[in-house]
C-alpha cells in the first residue's frame, strides 16, 4: 500500500490533533500510525496515513493541509513515503 507521511511542527496549543484528524476524516484519509511529542513547548508529530482512497487528488489534499497549518500557526507537510524509502533503503 502506498503510504503518506504527514509531519507537523510548531508551538503547542489546544486542538492541533483534533483539527488535523477532522480534516483527514473529512477527506476520507485513514490514519495508520501516529507519534507525537512536546519539547520545550514545541509540538512535533509524525503521522503515517493511507491517502489512496482520499476524496480529492493528492495535490489538493496537500495544499489543504498546508493551509490548515497556517490557520493553526503550525508547519504541516504531507509527502508520499517513496522519498524516504528511496533515500534510506537500498
Partner 1 sequence: MINYYEINETNKMIEHDNLDVRTITLGISLLDCIDGDLAVINQKIYDKITRVAKDLVPVGCELEKEFGIPIVNKRISVTPIALVGGAACREPADFVTIAKTLDAAAKEIGVNFVGGYSAIVSKGMTAADEMLIRSIPQAMAETDMVCSSINVGSTKTGLNMDAIRLIGDIVKEAAYLTREHDSIGCAKFVAICNAPDDNPFMAGAFHGVSEADAVINVGVSGPGVVKSAIEQIRGESFEVLCETIKRTAFKVTRVGQLVAREASQRLGIPFGIVDLSLAPTPAIGDSVSDILEGMGLERTGAPGTTAALALLNDQVKKGGVMASSYVGGLSGAFIPVSEDAGMIRAAECGALTIEKLEAMTCVCSVGLDMIAIPGDTPATTIAGIIADEAAIGMVNQKTTAVRVIPVYGKSIGDSINYGGLLGHAPVIPVSQYGCSEFVSRGGRIPAPIHSFKN
Nearest-angstrom CA–CA distance, 27 and 74? 20
- Tell me how far CA of residue 65 lies from CA of 7, 78, 79, 86, in angstroms: 11, 8, 11, 24
Q: How many Cβ atoms are within 10 Å of 71's Cβ, its own excluded? A: 8
* 44-73: contacts with partner 1 (CB under 8 A): 46, 58-59, 62-63
Nearest-angstrom CA–CA distance, 26 and 50? 14
The CB-of-78 to partner 1 minimum distance in angstroms stands at 7
Provide the grid cell at 46: 509524525
Give yes or no for residue 83 binding partner 1 (CB under 8 A). Answer: yes
Give yes or no for residue 31 binding partner 1 (CB under 8 A). Answer: no
Give yes or no for residue 42 binding partner 1 (CB under 8 A). Answer: no
The CB-of-58 to partner 1 minimum distance in angstroms stands at 6
Give yes or no for residue 86 binding partner 1 (CB under 8 A). Answer: yes
Give yes or no for residue 27 binding partner 1 (CB under 8 A). Answer: no
In the complex, which residues of this chain contact partner 1 (CB under 8 A)? 5, 7, 35, 46, 58-59, 62-63, 77-89
Amino acid at each position: 500500500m502506498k503510504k503518506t507521511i504527514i509531519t507537523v511542527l510548531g508551538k503547542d496549543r489546544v486542538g492541533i490533533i483534533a483539527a488535523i484528524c477532522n480534516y483527514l476524516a473529512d477527506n476520507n484519509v485513514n490514519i495508520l500510525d501516529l507519534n507525537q511529542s512536546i519539547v520545550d513547548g514545541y509540538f512535533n508529530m509524525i503521522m503515517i496515513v493511507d491517502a489512496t482512497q482520499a476524496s480529492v487528488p493528492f495535490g489538493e489534499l496537500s495544499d489543504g493541509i498546508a493551509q490548515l497549518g497556517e490557520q493553526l500557526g503550525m508547519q504541516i507537510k504531507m509527502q508520499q513515503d517513496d522519498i524516504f524509502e528511496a533515500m534510506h533503503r537500498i
